[in-house]
Structure 1
Amino acid sequence: MILRARLLLFAVALAVSCPPLVWSSTTHSTDPAEVKALRAIRSNLVDPCNNLNNWKSGDPCTSNWTGIICQSTANDGYLHVHELLLLNSNLSGTLAPEVGLLSQLETLDFMWNNISGSIPKEIGNITSLKRLLLNGNGLFGSLPDEIGFLPNLNRIQIDENQISGPIPKSFANLKSMMHLHMNNNSLSGQIPHELSELSSAVHLLLDNNNLSGHIPPELAQMPNLHILQLDNNNFSGSTIPAPFANTTSLYKLSLRNCSLQGAVPDLSAIPQLIYLDLGWNQLEGTIPSNKLSKNITTIDLSNNLLNGSIPSNFSRLPKLQRLSLENNKLSGSVPSAFWQNMPLSGNKSLILDFQHNLLTELSAAFSIPKNVTVLLYGNPVCLSQTDIFNLCKPMDKQPTSGRSPKSNSTCGCNTNSGYEINQLSSSTCFCAMPLGIGIRLKSPGISDFPPYKDNLEIFLTKRLNLYRDQLYVYSDIWEGRRLKMYLKLFPSNTSFFNESEILRIREIYSNWEMTLPPIFGPYELLNFTYANVITTTATSGLSTIAIVGIVLGACLGAAFISAVVTVFIMRKLPRNQKRSKRRLLSSSIKIDGVKDFAFEEMALATSNFNSSTQIGEGGYGKVYKGVLADGSLVAIKRAKEGSLQGSKEFFTEIQLLSRAHHRNLVSLVGYCIEEGEQMLVYEFIPNGTLRDHLAGKSKEPMNFSMRLHVALAAAKGILYLHTEADPPIFHRDIKASNILLDSKLVAKVADFGLSRLAPVPDFEGATPDYVSTVVKGTPGYLDPEYFLTHKLTDKSDVYSLGVVFLELLTAMKPISHGKNIVREVNSAYESGDIFSIIDSRMGAYPSECVGKFVSLALKCCQDETDMRPSMSEVVRELEVIWRMTPEIDAISTDSVVTEPLDTNTTPSSSSVTGNPFSTLDFSGNSISNLYPR
Structure 2
Amino acid sequence: MWNNISGSIPREIGNITSLKLLLLNGNQLSGSLPEEIGYLSNLDRLQIDQNHISGPIPKSFGNLKRVKHLHMNNNSLSGKIPHELSRLPILFHLLVDNNNLSGYLPPELAELPSLKILQLDNNNFSGSSIPPSYGNISTLLKLSLRNCGLQGSIPDLSKIAHLAYLDLSSNQLKGPLPSYKLSIDMTTIDLSHNFLNGSIPTNFSGFPKLQILSLQHNLLDGSVPSSIWQDINFTGNDTLFLDFENNSLTSIPDAFDPPANVTVLLYGNPVCANAKQSGMVRFCQPQGDKLTSGSSTNSKPNCNPCPTDRPYEYSPMSPIPCLCAIPIVVGYRLKSPGISDFRPYIADFEIDLTSLLHLFVYQLHIDRYIWEAGPRLNMYLKFYPDKSNLFNVSEILRIKSMLAGWEITLSDTFGPYELLNFTLGFYANEIPNTSKSGLSKGAIVGILLGAIAGAGTLSMLVTILIMRRHSRNQVASKRRSLSKFSVKVDGVKYFTFEEMALATSNFSDSTQVGQGGYGKVYKGILEDGTLVAIKRAQEGSLQGSKEFSTEIELLSRLHHRNLVSLVGYCDEQDEQMLVYEFMPNGTLRDHLSATKSKEPLSFAMRLRIALGSARGILYLHSEADPPIFHRDIKASNILLDARFNAKVADFGLSRLAPVPDVEGIVPGHVSTVVKGTPGYLDPEYFLTHKLTDKSDVYSLGVVFLELSTGMRPILHGKNIVREMQPGKHEVVVAKCSLALQA
Question: TM class by shorter-chain length?
Answer: 0.5 to 0.7
Q: Offset at 1:425? A: 5.0
Q: In the alignment, which residue of structure 1 is the partner of 2:388?
A: 494
Q: Offset at 1:136? A: 0.6
Cα-to-partner distance string for 1:776-810 (whole Å, 9 max, x where unaligned): xxxxxxxxxxxxxxxxxxxxxxxxxxxxxxxxxxx
Q: In the alignment, which residue of structure 2 is the partner of 1:391?
A: 283
1:364–1:477 distance in 2 versus 1, CA, 3 Å = farther
Does 2:253 align with 1:363? yes
Q: Which has more radius of gyration?
A: 2
Cα-to-partner distance string for 1:157-181 (whole Å, 9 max, x where unaligned): 0001111111100111111110000
Does 2:210 align with 1:317? no
Q: In the alignment, which residue of structure 2 is the partner of 1:210?
A: 100
Q: What is the one-letter code of the residue matched to 1:444?
A: P
Q: Offset at 1:508? A: 0.6
**Which residue of the other structure, out of 406, 422, 435, is the alignment partner of 2:298?**
406
Aligned counterparts, 1:52-201, within 5 A? 111-201=1-91
Specify every segment of 5 or more residues in structure 2 that has no aligned partner in the other structure, as ranges. 434-742
Aligned counterparts, 1:427-826, within 5 A? 428-480=321-373, 481-533=375-427
Q: In the alignment, which residue of structure 1 is the partner of 2:221?
A: 331
Q: In the alignment, which residue of structure 1 is the partner of 2:160?
A: 270
Q: TM-score scaled to structure 2, two decimals? A: 0.56
Q: What is the one-letter code of the residue matched to 1:240?
A: I
Q: What is the one-letter code of the residue matched to 1:134?
A: L
The answer on whether the counterparts of 2:207 and 2:231 sit within 8 Å (CA) in structure 1 is no
Does 2:266 align with 1:379? no
1:170–1:367 distance in 2 versus 1, CA, 3 Å = same
Q: Offset at 1:415? A: 5.6
Q: What is the one-letter code of the residue matched to 2:281?
A: F
Q: Offset at 1:422? A: 1.0
The answer on whether the counterparts of 1:143 and 1:165 sit within 8 Å (CA) in structure 2 is yes
Q: What is the one-letter code of the residue matched to 1:241?
A: P
Q: Offset at 1:342? A: 2.6
Counterparts of 2:44 and 2:306 in 1: how far apart (Å)? 45
Counterparts of 2:36 and 2:308 in 1: how far apart (Å)? 52
Q: In the alignment, which residue of structure 2 is the partner of 1:252?
A: 142
Counterparts of 1:138 and 1:385 in 2: how far apart (Å)? 53
Alpha-carbon RMSD across the aligned residues, in angstroms, is: 1.8
Q: Offset at 1:436? A: 0.8
Q: Offset at 1:495? A: 0.7
**Which residue of the other structure, out of 296, 303, 313, is the alignment partner of 1:420?**
313
Q: Offset at 1:412? A: 1.8
Counterparts of 1:260 and 1:491 in 2: how far apart (Å)? 51
Counterparts of 2:194 and 2:308 in 1: how far apart (Å)? 53
Counterparts of 1:194 and 1:297 in 2: how far apart (Å)? 31
Q: Offset at 1:411? A: 4.1
Q: In the alignment, which residue of structure 2 is the partner of 1:560?
A: none
Q: Offset at 1:423? A: 4.3
Counterparts of 1:418 and 1:250 in 2: how far apart (Å)? 46
Does 2:119 align with 1:229? yes
Counterparts of 1:422 and 1:518 in 2: how far apart (Å)? 29
Counterparts of 1:382 and 1:178 in 2: how far apart (Å)? 49
Q: Offset at 1:369? A: 2.2
The answer on whether the counterparts of 1:315 and 1:342 sit within 8 Å (CA) in structure 2 is no
The answer on whether the counterparts of 1:411 and 1:430 sit within 8 Å (CA) in structure 2 is no
Does 2:250 align with 1:351? no
Q: What is the one-letter code of the residue matched to 1:419?
A: Y
Q: What is the one-letter code of the residue matched to 2:144?
A: S
Q: Offset at 1:530? A: 2.1
Q: Offset at 1:531? A: 2.5
| Local SS of the residue matching 1:451 | helix
Q: What is the one-letter code of the residue matched to 2:88?
A: L
Q: In the alignment, which residue of structure 1 is the partner of 2:646?
A: none
The answer on whether the counterparts of 1:217 and 1:244 sit within 8 Å (CA) in structure 2 is yes
Q: In the alignment, which residue of structure 1 is the partner of 2:190?
A: 300
| Local SS of the residue matching 1:519 | helix
The answer on whether the counterparts of 1:433 and 1:530 sit within 8 Å (CA) in structure 2 is no
Q: What is the one-letter code of the residue matched to 1:461?
A: T
1:288–1:529 distance in 2 versus 1, CA, 3 Å = same
1:420–1:136 distance in 2 versus 1, CA, 3 Å = same
Q: Offset at 1:397? A: 3.4
Q: What is the one-letter code of the residue matched to 2:282?
A: N
Counterparts of 1:206 and 1:128 in 2: how far apart (Å)? 25
Aligned counterparts, 1:861-872, within 5 A? none
Q: Offset at 1:288? A: 1.1
Q: Offset at 1:233? A: 0.5
Counterparts of 1:524 and 1:435 in 2: how far apart (Å)? 17
Q: What is the one-letter code of the residue matched to 1:314?
A: F
The answer on whether the counterparts of 1:159 and 1:181 sit within 8 Å (CA) in structure 2 is yes
Q: How many residues align?
A: 428
Q: TM-score scaled to structure 1, two decimals? A: 0.45
| Local SS of the residue matching 1:220 | helix
Q: Offset at 1:427? A: 5.9
Cα-to-partner distance string for 1:457-482 (whole Å, 9 max, x where unaligned): 00111111111111101111001211
Q: Offset at 1:368? A: 1.9
1:170–1:534 distance in 2 versus 1, CA, 3 Å = closer
Q: What is the one-letter code of the residue matched to 1:406?
A: N
Cα-to-partner distance string for 1:741-780 (whole Å, 9 max, x where unaligned): xxxxxxxxxxxxxxxxxxxxxxxxxxxxxxxxxxxxxxxx
Q: Offset at 1:341? A: 4.2
Q: What is the one-letter code of the residue matched to 2:349?
A: L
The answer on whether the counterparts of 1:275 and 1:296 sit within 8 Å (CA) in structure 2 is yes
Counterparts of 2:165 and 2:247 in 1: how far apart (Å)? 23
Cα-to-partner distance string for 1:694-735 (whole Å, 9 max, x where unaligned): xxxxxxxxxxxxxxxxxxxxxxxxxxxxxxxxxxxxxxxxxx
Q: What is the one-letter code of the residue matched to 1:483?
A: L
1:140–1:423 distance in 2 versus 1, CA, 3 Å = closer
The answer on whether the counterparts of 1:436 and 1:530 sit within 8 Å (CA) in structure 2 is yes
Counterparts of 1:414 and 1:294 in 2: how far apart (Å)? 52
Q: Offset at 1:367? A: 2.1
1:416–1:303 distance in 2 versus 1, CA, 3 Å = farther
Counterparts of 1:181 and 1:325 in 2: how far apart (Å)? 29
Structure with larger RCO (C-alpha < 8 A, sep 6+): 1
| Local SS of the residue matching 1:243 | helix
Q: Offset at 1:345? A: 1.9
1:423–1:341 distance in 2 versus 1, CA, 3 Å = closer
Q: What is the one-letter code of the residue matched to 1:526?
A: L
Counterparts of 1:337 and 1:493 in 2: how far apart (Å)? 49
